[in-house]
Structure 1
Amino acid sequence: MSIVDTVPPELATGLLADIYGSDAHALGYVPSHSLVMGLRPEAYAAWRALQQAIAGSLGQRRYELVTLAAAQALGSRACLLAHVNKSLGFMGEEQLVRLMRNYRDAGLSASEVAMMDFAAKLSRNAAAMDDADSVSLRRAGFSDTEIVDVTLAAAARNYFSKALQALAVEVDVPPGLSPAMLLAVNETLAAQEPATGTPTDVE
């Protein structure tokens, strides 16, 4: 749990109150990451605007798939749970469970697998990437603008996930996720343990 003191929703004013309000409307609660990042509401609002700009160009489905691949590679429990929950809006639970266990064998298109591979490599070792990685996306049918979009989506997830990890922000489990979905999330995180440390199980 993060040591930083946060502003409770009932005491929030101005932009912070707006941020909390949008969360409460969309989720039914104010998540821990908003409480912590809300200490700098202007920066947090800019982050949200960046997300929207990237997703608006890339498309919500592609944005979420790239985000899931990056969150998996980073071992980010908070981001993985949040975006698994969002992905249920366009993907059935059975397919999403398969995706958590092995996105290359989850019934995705070849182009979707290619962009998830790209996002995972960026998240694990961006310094090792070169033109061949971008060429792999071009061969999968992505335009140059879309290649930049995929890169921005994955890099943006690295920024936010690492900030949450560094501040030890409490992980919220979205209500309504099934035991099978939570188990799949646990399994994919456990597979990352050698590189990312040992996460505790999701309850």
Structure 2
Amino acid sequence: MSIIDTPPDDDESVADLYSADVADLGYVPSHTRVMAVNPEATRVFQHLARTIVSQLGLRNYELATLAAAEAIGSQACLYAHGRKSLKLFDEEQLARIARDHQDAGLSEADVALMDFAARLSTDSASMTDADSTRLREVGFSDREIVDIALAASLRNYFSRALHALAVDVDVPPGLSPRLTEALTLD
């Protein structure tokens, strides 16, 4: 449980952040409440994510996010983005991706994207041009390669901040017990 005192629901400086979550989820998750202590940075983070999605596409962004979240052990982000990914994948496919993206019936490009995001999240210092070349070989443009790296890096930034602040993990509504189990880290 985080020791951070979070802004109350009636705080005007975070009303837009809270109302967006209520509209989407029906409640304000713990991660929004804690990060709303710095609402300006939270809005910049959200703007950067939207900018990456606008070019990379939501599907590729979510695949990179899921791979990065799993690689760094971010349970909160796995649940949150698992829920968001239900707009892109049916529950069975998403459960397969969560359990083992390499054996989930994804395209070669999807697997390469997720492998890249996971490697960036666990061993970025040893990455070389070979890692980016693999993405190019499966059809990604230079812009997409940069955006994949940005998406995974952005997930690392946010997830690691949540870890550092001991933010409670919420299971968002809309996740079945089966999918929750598939998204749960060992």
Q: Which runs of structure 2 are paired with 1:27-66 in the superposition (5 Å)?
A: 27-66=25-64
**Out of 171, 174, 177, which is 1:173 matched to?**
171
Q: TM-score, normalised by structure 1?
A: 0.90
Q: Is 1:141 aligned to residue 139 of structure 2?
A: yes
1:176 Cα shift?
A: 2.5
Other-structure match for 2:181: 183
After TM superposition, the score normalised by the length of structure 2 is 0.98
Structure 1 runs, 4 residues or longer, greater than 3 Å off:
none
Gap regions ≥5 residues in structure 2: none
Root mean square deviation of aligned Cα: 0.8
> Matched residues in 1 for 2:21 and 2:77: separation?
15
Instruction: Report the counterpart of residue 155 of structure 2 in structure 1.
Output: 157
Structure 1: 5+ residue runs without aligned partners? 191-203
Quick one: distance in 1 between partners of 2:70 and 2:29?
Answer: 20
- The letter of the residue matching 1:12 is D
Question: Would you say the 8 A contact 2:25–2:173 is kept in 1?
Answer: no
Alpha-carbon distance, 1:119 to partner: 0.2
Q: Is the 8 A contact 2:68 2:156 kept in 1?
A: yes
In 1, Cα distance between equivalents of 2:25 and 2:80 = 10
How is 1:107-146 mapped onto 2 (pairs within 5 angstroms)?
107-146=105-144
Give the deviation of 1:31 after TM superposition. 0.8
Report the counterpart of residue 196 of structure 1 in structure 2. Answer: none
SS at match of 1:69: helix
Q: How far does residue 63 in structure 1 lie from its aligned partner after superposition?
A: 0.3
* Displacement of 1:156: 0.4
Name 1:8's counterpart in structure 2. 8
Amino acid at match of 2:49: Q
Paired AA for residue 30 in structure 1: V
CA contact (8 A) 2:31 2:168 kept: yes
Distance 2:173 2:18 in 1: 18
